[in-house]
A and B are shown apart, each in its own frame.
Chain A
Amino acid sequence: MATVVSRPKLSLLERSYFPAILGGLWITIKHFIKMTFGQTKVTMQYPEQKWDSALPEWYRGAPTLVKDEHDRERCVACQLCEFICPPRAITIKPGELPEKDRWAKVEKFPEKFDIDMIRCIYCGLCEEVCPEQAIFLRKDYSITGLTRAEMVHDKAKLYELGGVMDGLVHKWNEKK
């Protein structure tokens, strides 16, 4: 059934538009004045102000490789992260350590470790799957580059971003 919505009956003054126009002008000038005297809270001015300090502990930023306090790379090139990575952003080329190396008992090391940051979806599965606590998602979120090649983080870049992490489990220490 059709319903008829009755139009409100406007008085002559209301039909002259003036009360509505003046009311609107009053509202806008209030906003203008508040903004002029800095009483309005506006958006964060992004490149100058960042929310870095407000990031939670569990924030998932760019995946990075970390070294332990002995300045030793923790990754043993098991390639679990490469297999689990949903967008297949990680490429690892494992290499054998030479026999005489102090850390030769550690199975392997990554000769090449690339993470394609165009593909990465910041899911954190690589961190979760890593048996060596070698890969961590840190708080870097502004990953930019001018070329596609620049967007692929190689081993050096990953260690630069990851740095050193203390207090990790050292399950190889007794075999050294």
Chain B
Amino acid sequence: MPSLDLFLQPEIFLAWTSALKTVVILGLVLTMVAYSVWAERKVSAFIQDRIGPNRVGWAGLIQPIADGMKLLLKENFVPAGVNKFYFSIAPSLAMVPAILVLAVLPFGSTLFGVPMVIADLDIGVLWVFAVSSLGVYGIVLAGWASNSKYPFLGGIRSSSQMISYELSLGLSVIPVFMITGTLNLGEIVQYQVDNGWMVFPAWFSSGAGLLEITADSGAMFGLSLEKSLLWIPMLISFVVFLIAMFAETNRVPFDLPEAEQELVGGYHTEYSSMRFALFFLGEYAAMIAGAGVIVTLFLGGWSLPFIPDGSQGWFWGLVNIGTFFAKVAAIIFFFLWVRWTLPRFRFDQLMKLGWYVFFEVALINIFLTAGILAYLQS
């Protein structure tokens, strides 16, 4: 069949599989965004001994659609005195970077031999940091273009917060690259498949073990000397990265740009209708992308111990994809759980934490990792 051959030519095959993956992931993530809003309301309600949305559909499951419809039908109000151009593009600038991050995340191993990552970049992590820090432009522009004091304060807070936390965010993951020796997210996941998750290195394929249990598949379960030494800097990295990610995605306890009680909603005070919805979607999409990065770097990505990857058949490929999204959902639940537990930090406390604590901890952690690696190699 000549027409089928055309589709299987390498370049064309790459083009249509990438397009298909993009569409599927975009649809999946936007659905996750909608339902993480639902989960946010449900989790907050349960934590506060309430029931939460339960009117639209079973357990309120159609609530996101109703919310979306409501926001679509509302008046798209533009206040007088705003800078119309920046006012209009700011919501998109907040939304787009969050979604662009998804391009490099390996959300599965392989399915029918196709790698489950949209763009397999060798500079994967750099792309993540470069693009996700662009998200702050949407907030700053919204705050500035609104010509109103509360959004302005929100925008200023957002930019200063970004500067103080981007540093520790970037520095805290350097130990991961020192250990794995690559920036490619797919290879980092593969390293964790072979050597155990960064925060839970309990199995390995080679090396001298302190405790060893050999499973049927040949993989060994246990803790090696090498792993247990490197476990310490990995845990520090994980905690610093997780906290910096809270600040990066403007979640409580670092949601100072929004700060409903102080800034009446912060940067999106003047927005209504779909423009407001875009900010909302962008915030949750950033949360999902951030959770994806955390899962990929520290929690083994799509891998589960002793579960084969997609080369063993399409079923395992699907299991890997499901594992990735289950882990992302777990991290999102943690985000929600923290939001409804902790109060907001004061701005000086936040700056102090960022500059005096996390920056130093991340920096020292790099030297600690380097020392351990040097010791292990000697």
Contacts and interface: CB of A to CB of B under 8 A. Distances in A.
Counting chain B residues whose Cβ lies within 8 A of the other chain, the interface size class is 10 to 19
B47 A32 contact: yes
A5 interface: no
A32 B50 contact: no
A56 B295 CA distance: 58
Contacts of A29: 337
Interface stretch (B124-132, B216-224, B309-317, B338-346): B338-346
A35 B46 CA distance: 6
A28 B49 contact: no
Interface in A101-152: none
A88 interface: no
Given A28-B337, A29-B337, A32-B43, A21 B342 contact: yes
A146 B128 CA distance: 55
Contact of B341 (A24, A36, A42): A24
Contacts of A27: 341
Interface in B43-68: 43, 45-51
Given A21-B342, A36-B46, A42 B337 contact: no
Contacts of B47: 28, 31-32, 35
A35 B49 contact: yes
Tell me if A's interface is mostly helix, strand, loop or mixed: helix
Given A25-B337, A25-B338, A25-B341, A42 B50 contact: yes
Contacts of B45: 35
Contacts of A43: 50-51
B51 A42 contact: yes
Contacts of B340: 28
B46 A31 contact: yes
B308 to A, nearest CB: 33
A159 B174 CA distance: 81
A24 B342 contact: yes
A100 to B, nearest CB: 58
B353 to A, nearest CB: 9
Interface in A24-77: 24-25, 27-29, 31-32, 35-36, 40, 42-43, 45
Contact of B48 (A21, A24, A25, A31): A31
A32 B337 contact: yes
Interface in B28-53: 43, 45-51
Contacts of B338: 25
A32 B44 CA distance: 9
A24 B341 CA distance: 6
Contacts of B341: 21, 24-25, 27-28
A129 B46 CA distance: 50
A31 B48 CA distance: 7
A9 B244 CA distance: 28
A39 to B, nearest CB: 10
Interface in A3-33: 21, 24-25, 27-29, 31-32
A25 B333 CA distance: 12
Contacts of B50: 42-43
A45 B51 CA distance: 9
A25 B49 CA distance: 15
A40 B49 contact: yes
A21 B338 CA distance: 9
Contacts of A36: 46
A45 to B, nearest CB: 8
A28 B342 CA distance: 10
A27 B342 CA distance: 11
A147 B51 CA distance: 32
B60 to A, nearest CB: 13
26 contacts: A21-B341, A21-B342, A24-B341, A24-B342, A25-B337, A25-B338, A25-B341, A27-B341, A28-B47, A28-B337, A28-B340, A28-B341, A29-B337, A31-B46, A31-B48, A31-B49, A32-B43, A32-B47, A35-B45, A35-B47, A40-B49, A42-B49, A42-B50, A42-B51, A43-B51, A45-B51
Question: Sorted from nearest, which 3 A-B pairs have the closest CB atoms?
Answer: A35-B46, A24-B341, A28-B341
Given A21-B341, A31-B46, A43-B50, 15 more contacts: A24-B341, A25-B337, A25-B338, A25-B341, A27-B341, A28-B340, A31-B47, A31-B48, A32-B46, A32-B47, A35-B47, A40-B49, A42-B49, A43-B51, A45-B51
